[in-house]
Amino acid sequence: MQPIQRVAIVGAGNMGSGIAQKTAQEEFDVQMVDREQQWVDRGQGIIRDFLSEAVERRIFSPAQVEAIQGRITGVVGVENTAANTDLVIEAVFEDFDIKTAVFNTLDSACGPETILASNTSSLSVNALAEATGRADRFVGLHFFYHPAKNRLVEVIPAEASSAETVEKVVQYCKMLGKVVIVCGDRPGFVVNRFFVPWLNEACLLLEEGVATAAQIDAAACKAFRIGLGPFGLMNLTGPPIALHSTDYLAEQLHTPRYNGAQNLRDLIEANEHWDVSGEQAYSPEQYAAVAERLYGVVFGVAAQIVEEGVCSMEDVDRGAKVGLRWARGPFEMMNRVGIQEAHRMAQSYADLSAESDPERSWTVPEYFSKQAQTNQGWNFSYVDVSIESGVATLTINRPEAMNALNETVVGQLNDALDLVNADAEVHTIVLDGAGKAFVAGADVKFFVDKIRAESIPDIVTFTADGHTMLNKLESSKKTTVALTTGLALGGGLELALACDYRIGTRRTQFRFPETSIGIYPGLGGTQRPARICGIPAARWSVLAGNFMDAQTGYDLGLLTHLVDVASVDSCVAELASAGKPDNKYPGAPTNPSSPAAAFAASFYSDENMTSILNGTCPEGFDSEDKIVSRQLKSLSRTAPIALKMASDLIDATSTTELPAGLQMELDQLTDIFSTSDSLEGLSALIEGRKPSYSNS
């Protein structure tokens, strides 16, 4: 399947220009299309201002900005969209007739293979698909503002959308680094379905005199652990958008409770914003009333979304956490407040809705009621398993946390590996990560909490379970492949290295950060790298925690295959056909003459290790040399105890077999996590500060 490369965005407003910018940032060829030159110029100006700010904040260099802007071509007139465009995203005003007119023109201008998409937050995707003239090559998209920053996108297939069309568009969105929710075509899709009624309910609370706008915002911020309450959010995005959205849901879902509150209508008519400048302090009674109502609508609607098959409860939570930046999703919050209490709140909201219109009562789904009767919280699945033609793909689907490994994920991976290893029809196991990361390490907060609770044995048990899971990959008779086509840090890289093959693309990034946060990599990170690329290269990778781009990872052998994005699927197929490698652990870099491998062989030689561990520059090296200086600086930021223990464990690879080396890692975990430096390093990472190590 040839991936999308040439993309056109129709509409150069705030959303369209943002989508164009993000697409160009990820090295796609972009046309930004509008009906007049002035609007194209305006879109270019929005992008230019945004990127200038990014340069000031050192997110991009001037050269990178020049390259990004160079990938964007302004086009005047929808009819002038290039015929060979792979994907056209319409991002014009949210009006069905206007969008239909755009699609009629695009259908004539674009080639037969071009996929058309509509960026919409509310309109029926199925109705739009029929208006395009190519319903099988159409999908709905819902980018969240600002599309260059917000990581969420909802992909809404029409009933007629082909599987290939959906797959290509999902792949494009993932290449933008987006967290993708594929959902059904229902009004509001996923996030707006519960978020918009949440906004309107805040207006009704104000109208009823429960509290002031400032108090409601403050109470909502506490209840939902967010930085901006409903009124502040409406002021930011514009009250008319909230009214349009809630009225639309009321009409489409036949739910009078969602009709825009009168005070919201009055505010818009007066062309004003909400006054949130008043006193924020609230009474316990006010907090309880606000929290219950806002929880009630969110809990009930979230359950309805799942009941209707729009998406899974995991995706509902994902949408809230990524798209809205809520600390927890609706189902996670239900578990936190208690499932029976959550159900009571949803039922109370349903009773209010019935008062608005008894004939069209808003109901709490039966499965939610049954769950409440059990008094057991929701269980979440973070590992998706799909099997096709003998290839089992295990996708770690926790992109809101960069797929970080925790007890639940490790347990579910263990179960999934048992399942596919026992399946005689499966000959290849592929590990993948949802979103822009493969796996960004282990859940650091878990370590900190256990250390503070003096429960280090729990850390050892968790890590031992991780070793059990990795051993199922190591010892599998199936061919095992890790799709490390994004970020792989710490435990994520250790997971990948247990596989027979690691496939990477230009977006691949590797790093072992452990010694800089007070610990050593304990899931094989001191053992497998040395056996793959040799001890000096392993020291360079692990001890100093050097960042590795795709080429460096490939040169060292940590990546076994480096391909372009279009070739990932064919590479998997080739490896599945070839079977397991003859020598998984060659013990030397793939390209010994590469800069990283050559430097590692020289700097991290056995005779230099005493100086390195003592914090001095090895003899024969100039500490003022840029590369040497950078290396010494990285080493100086590590925890001394962790550095020494990691070094000793790497050295042990020369005299031990892999199982014995892995056991040595496990045996020393209690020692490393008992140090003051481990708590300091891990805490500093969570708190976003530099650690101060005491060598204790």
Q: Tokens representing 153?
A: 């996108």
Rounded to whole angstroms, how far apart are CA atoms 44 and 40? 6
Q: pLDDT band at residue 314, thresholds of 50, 70 and 90?
A: very high
E-strand spans in 42-103? 72-76, 87-90
Rounded to whole angstroms, how far apart are CA atoms 331 and 311? 13
Which part of the chain is CATH 3.40.50.720?
A: 6-182
Q: pLDDT band at residue 2, thresholds of 50, 70 and 90?
A: confident
What is the average pLDDT across 637-658?
98
CA distances from 243 to 253, 297, 356 (A): 15, 17, 18
Rounded to whole angstroms, how far apart are CA atoms 559 and 540? 16
Q: Which CATH superfamily is domain 6-182 in?
A: NAD(P)-binding Rossmann-like Domain (3.40.50.720)
With a pLDDT cut of 70, the percent of the chain lying above it is 100
- Would you say residue 356 has pLDDT above 90? no
What is the average pLDDT across 292-296?
98
CATH number belonging to the domain at 191-374, selected among 1.10.3720.10, 3.90.870.40, 3.50.50.60, 1.10.1040.50: 1.10.1040.50
Q: pLDDT band at residue 38, thresholds of 50, 70 and 90?
A: very high
Summarised one tens digit per residue, pLDDT across range 583-615 is: 999 999 999 999 999 999 999 999 999 999 999
Contact 98, 34 (CB under 8 A): no
Summarised one tens digit per residue, pLDDT across range 472-493 is: 999 999 999 999 998 999 999 9
Summarised one tens digit per residue, pLDDT across range 653-667 is: 999 999 999 999 999
Name the fold adopted by 383-687: 2-enoyl-CoA Hydratase; Chain A, domain 1 (3.90.226)
Question: Which uninterrupted H or E stretch holds 396?
Answer: strand 391-396
- Would you say residue 360 has pLDDT above 80? no
Rounded to whole angstroms, how far apart are CA atoms 649 and 364? 56
Summarised one tens digit per residue, pLDDT across range 210-255 is: 999 999 999 999 999 999 999 999 999 899 999 999 999 999 999 9
Q: What is the pLDDT of residue 278?
A: 87
Rg over alpha carbons for the chain, rounded to the nearest Å, is: 27
Which part of the chain is CATH 1.10.1040.50?
A: 191-374
Taking alpha carbons only, the member of 347, 404, 314, 329 closest to residue 685 is 404
Q: pLDDT band at residue 192, thresholds of 50, 70 and 90?
A: very high
Residue 264 in 3-state DSSP? Answer: helix
Work out the mean pLDDT of the chain and round it to a whole number. Answer: 96
- Would you say residue 261 has pLDDT above 80? yes
What is the average pLDDT across 286-305?
98
CA distances from 477 to 417, 473, 499, 576 (A): 12, 9, 11, 12
Residue 690 in 3-state DSSP? Answer: coil
Beta pairing partners, 138: 116
Beta pairing partners, 140: 118, 156
